[in-house]
Chain A
């Protein structure tokens, strides 16, 4: 049985409803696998949420968006 390690990072603690939504979507995508969901509260990300599933990361935090914007603008110059 495959185990999926996932980490959720946010600036404030997430509600149980939100956590449930996340774990259900992941389980639906990877049927028959066990899910280990870890939650991290990190005020440095300012807002939004970052989800890392195994080796893939979805960064929707304010910090992440600001950083991407920064790189993008510098490239333009």
Chain B
């Protein structure tokens, strides 16, 4: 008896769920595969398909309709689609490409279609974010005012980045571009910023190392990784930055601040070039298709700072571009330089000479500038860029004449020490108050008595000393974000004391 009742209840539930429309016959748009090769499916039919629409290739595989022509459609397969044959039927899904996002995605590694690749449970999507969304218009935006602290002295002092800015990291291979981006992510542990790291065309081993480092430092608690490594199809590599941007926009809509790193856009452009050439689109300069500028501009325009009426959130973008032989006038580098709000220029010469991070401060620029710096940092680093430029000029001059007057010699020595203080380990980010105290000591001349080789040790011991003996001063600077006259005096005394206490690395100097 019970079984019958159960069965009846079961069938009742099922029939309530089955709406008659579910089984009615509707006309469906289908296409027949004419040719399939190199990941590009040419399909006859599919007359009313939309651009960038997902196409069901059967066998749970999907494709992206990119080329809509009069008598055929060019579809790029997302995956290998080995089951396709000439004559196979493919169907529209009537869905534009989107990725399912929810708060659970933080700490996970996903592919550009939103599927998890870190072996954990699938993500329960809260919202479906379109990959190709329009960038916010002019009125919802606000000027960039809040700093994004990278933890790297050279950047935070002279090339400051603000929340909502696009700052390009550009340099040759192995100059430390990814290191700067990762260092910035590591420094966001107490800044209430969600980080998205998009890995395009990178080696799986490098990505595994990166994930391990982020895990070890606890950075995965606020980071999402979108992975499209070198072994996936060019179509997935092409979609990866847009997927990362869609995930960032989910958090932006909740009023959060997001940092997104694209590593790197050179490989992204190359993947797009591969797809376009296979789709037989006309090629232009360096064999890139004609819309490669639009490829990056529509991506980077989605990095915004929204005003309070629209949630007050922000997306800061750090795209990475790899140059060949320092050639910043190549096609893709010039494109992205003209899109972003400044660039951080890394040089192999500086890297090999031991200057790490190998940032060329003269050529690097941040178009947002000091409006993204806290007042304390502005006070101490205000003239640093100019001083370093003068120092570099003097350096060249000093190589010719050995007989210098005292003033020039003093300037040279000061410049050398200020330059040396900018060296930093990539995984040793400094909080902004620590940076302020170190730069204060450098520009006010308290380093003049320290030998240049000892500056690294000096900095370590100085910071330790400041944390043990003057921790309240540090917290005060961090809270008030500026330095009053008496705080400056206190700081000066602290540095003098430190120099007096450590004669082995510093001879006490007068300010």
Seen from chain A, the residues whose Cβ lies within 8 Å of a Cβ on chain B are: 52, 54-60, 64-65, 68-69, 72-73, 76
Additional A-B contacts beyond A57-B29, A73-B17 (20; CB < 8 A): A54-B47, A55-B29, A55-B30, A55-B31, A55-B44, A55-B46, A55-B47, A56-B27, A56-B28, A56-B30, A57-B30, A57-B91, A58-B25, A58-B28, A59-B25, A65-B23, A68-B22, A69-B22, A69-B23, A73-B18
A64 CB, nearest partner CB in chain B, Å: 8
Contacts of B460 in A (CB 8 A): none
Q: A73-B17, A76-B17 are in contact. Are A52 and B23 (CB under 8 A)?
A: no
Closest chain B residue to A49, Cβ basis: B25
Give the CA-CA distance A47 to B289 in the complex, in Å: 49
B396 within 8 A of A: no
Query: Taking the nearest CB of chain A, how far is it from the CB of B474, in angstroms?
Result: 54
Tell me the minimal C-beta distance from B101 to chain A in angstroms: 19
20 contacts between A and B (CB under 8 A): A52-B30, A55-B30, A55-B45, A55-B47, A56-B27, A56-B29, A57-B28, A57-B29, A57-B30, A58-B27, A59-B25, A59-B28, A64-B25, A65-B23, A68-B23, A69-B18, A72-B18, A72-B22, A73-B14, A73-B17
Residue of B nearest to A55 (CB): B45
Specify which chain B residues have a CB less than 8 angstroms from the CB of A64 in the assembled complex: 25
A3-B98 Cα distance, complex, nearest whole Å: 38
Whether B45 lies near A60 (C-beta < 8 A) is no
Verify if B208 is at the interface (C-beta below 8 Å from A): no
Provide the residues of chain A in CB contact with B18, threshold 8 Å. Answer: 69, 72-73
B353 within 8 A of A: no
B1: interface (CB < 8 Å): no
Tell me, in angstroms, the Cα distance from A72 to B406 when the chains sit together. Answer: 85
> Which residues of chain B come closer than 8 Å to A56, judged between CB atoms?
27-30
Chain A residue numbers with a CB within 8 Å of B47 are: 54-55
- Complex CA–CA separation, A65 to B30 (angstroms): 17
Nearest residue (CB) in B for A48 is B25
Q: Top 9 A-B pairs ranked by shortest CB distance?
A: A55-B45, A72-B22, A57-B30, A60-B25, A65-B23, A55-B47, A56-B27, A57-B28, A76-B17
- Minimal Cβ-Cβ distance residue in A for B46: A55
How many angstroms between the C-alpha atoms of A58 and B28 in the bound complex? Answer: 6
Q: Which residues of B contact A58 (CB under 8 A)?
A: 25-28
- A55 to B22 alpha-carbon distance, docked (Å): 22
Smallest CB–CB gap between A21 and chain B, Å? 16
A72 to B16, CA, bound (A): 12
Q: Which residues of A contact B30 (CB under 8 A)?
A: 52, 55-57
Complex contacts, B29 vs chain A, CB 8 Å? 55-57
A68 to B17, CA, bound (A): 13
Minimum CB–CB distance from B83 to chain A (whole Å) comes to 16
Nearest CB of chain A from residue B72's CB, rounded to whole Å = 11
**Complex Cα gap A69–B25 (Å):** 12
> Hey, which chain A residues are within 8 Å of B44, CB to CB?
55
A54 to chain B, nearest CB (A): 7
Q: Counting chain B CB atoms within 10 Å of each CB, which of A58, A60, A68 scores highest?
A: A68
Instruction: Across the interface, name the chain A residue whose C-beta is closest to B17.
Output: A76
Q: Does B19 contact A (CB under 8 A)?
A: yes
A13 to B14, CA, bound (A): 34
- Residues of B contacting A69 in the complex (Cβ-Cβ under 8 angstroms): 18, 22-23
Quote the shortest CB–CB distance from B109 to chain A (angstroms). 26
Note all chain B residues with C-beta closer than 8 A to A54: 45, 47
Could you say which residues of chain A place their CB within 8 Å of the CB of B26?
Answer: 58
Contacts of A65 in B (CB 8 A): 23
Quick one: closest B residue to A71, CB to CB?
Answer: B22
Q: Which of A54, A56, A57, A60 has the most CB of B within 10 A?
A: A57
- A72 in contact with B19 (CB, 8 Å): yes
A44 to chain B, nearest CB (A): 14
